[in-house]
Amino acid sequence: MSNKPQRGPEEPPYARYAFLNPYNLSLLAGAGVAAAATGHWWMAVCGAAGEAMWMLFAPDSKLLQRTWFDKVWSEKRADAVQEALDAKLKQLEPMDRERVLFLREQKKRIHQLATENPSLTVELMGDELAKLDGLLDDFTDLALECTRGERHLATIDLKSMENSWHLYRGQVEQMPEGDKRRAVAKKNMQVLEQRRNRWEDLRKSAQTARGQMDLMENTFKLLGDEIVTMSSPEDLGLRLDDLRIGVEAIREATVDEGEVFEDLEAQQMEQQKKARR
């Protein structure tokens, strides 16, 4: 049983990098082709032995990890982050897309100004500045939530929904107790009231998220003004932590209103079908 520690899912796959690279695969293929072409199969045996030795020691080589594998890992992670960001940006409205890109430029500016402040060493500021990346992700996610919520709101004909509610209320008032049509009309009123309440909840959620986005954007601008004279990294950390707390509060208070609306619309359609029977 191997005594080597198990690597976590977020650690570089050193063994894969050691095997699946052009140099290693070329040598393996070359040894195989040379053995087949010359009939000297000891070449293939030597190639296999060399490969076994390589795979035994290369993945755990600190030198290779530092000079080669870790760089590959960093590049792949950066590419994955950029691809995820590009996918999110494509879903945003042009104005929100520009806001996200502006905030990323503002982050670079804050990093640059921090390095120019003699009171803030790179070592002390590292952890605090890293929080900016998390806040940028939060800002993008909030923009996505707003986009989805506002697009769903735009599909709802509030006037028509209110007219339907008054129509059903008239039926409830006109029809006698015990009439099945009256009972169905009353249920439709309840569903429409729920839809109206959900519409209001979604509208408030979108407005709150928009307000938090404005706060984050304004705070980034303020940090760009203050970082030049800031004397302690804790000052930066406190501001960033406050922003993260605000974002988390919004996330905890937000439900997937779109799915709720779809469920309620399905209920209303079912009630209408029953009323026509």
pLDDT tens for 129-168 read 778 888 888 889 889 888 888 888 888 888 999 999 999 9
Answer yes or no: are the C-beta atoms of 261 and 202 closer than 8 Å.
yes
Identify whether residues 216 and 107 lie together within a single domain: yes
Per-residue pLDDT at 259: 55
- Considering the entire predicted model, what is its pTM? 0.62
Instruction: Tally Cβ neighbours within 10 Å of residue 137.
Output: 15
Q: Of 37, 64, 91, which residue sits at a domain end?
A: 91
Q: Which amino acid, one-letter code, is at 32? A: G
Identify whether residues 46 and 86 lie together within a single domain: yes
Higher pLDDT, 127 or 49: 49
Identify whether residues 43 and 132 lie together within a single domain: no
| Domain assignment present for 141 | yes
- Range of the structural domain that residue 233 is part of: 94-276
Answer yes or no: are the C-beta atoms of 268 and 191 closer than 8 Å.
yes
- State the total domains in the chain: 2
Mean pLDDT of 49-72: 82
Q: Is the dihedral of CA 54, 59, 60, 66 positive or negative?
A: positive
CA 217 → CA 20, 70, 186, 266, distances in Å?
Answer: 43, 34, 47, 39
| Domain assignment present for 214 | yes
Identify whether residues 103 and 154 lie together within a single domain: yes
Q: Which of 59-63, 66-70, 185-189, 266-270 has the lowest mean pLDDT?
A: 266-270
| Domain assignment present for 3 | no
pLDDT tens for 62-117 read 887 788 878 887 778 777 777 887 888 888 889 999 999 998 898 888 888 877 77
- For residues 141 and 242, what is the distance between their CA atoms, to the nearest angstrom? 17
Identify whether residues 217 and 251 lie together within a single domain: yes
What b/e sequence results for 78-99 when a residue is b if at least 16 CB atoms lie within 10 Å of its CB, and e otherwise? eeeeeeebeebbeebeeebbeb
Identify whether residues 52 and 177 lie together within a single domain: no
| Domain assignment present for 189 | yes
- Phi and psi, residue 117, nearest 5°: -85, 115
Q: Of 91, 122, 153, which residue sits at a domain end?
A: 91
Identify whether residues 98 and 87 lie together within a single domain: no
Identify whether residues 177 and 69 lie together within a single domain: no
| Domain assignment present for 184 | yes
Identify whether residues 37 and 119 lie together within a single domain: no
Q: Of 73, 91, 109, which residue sits at a domain end?
A: 91
Identify whether residues 154 and 115 lie together within a single domain: yes
- For residues 66 and 64, what is the distance between their CA atoms, to the nearest angstrom? 5
| Domain assignment present for 5 | no
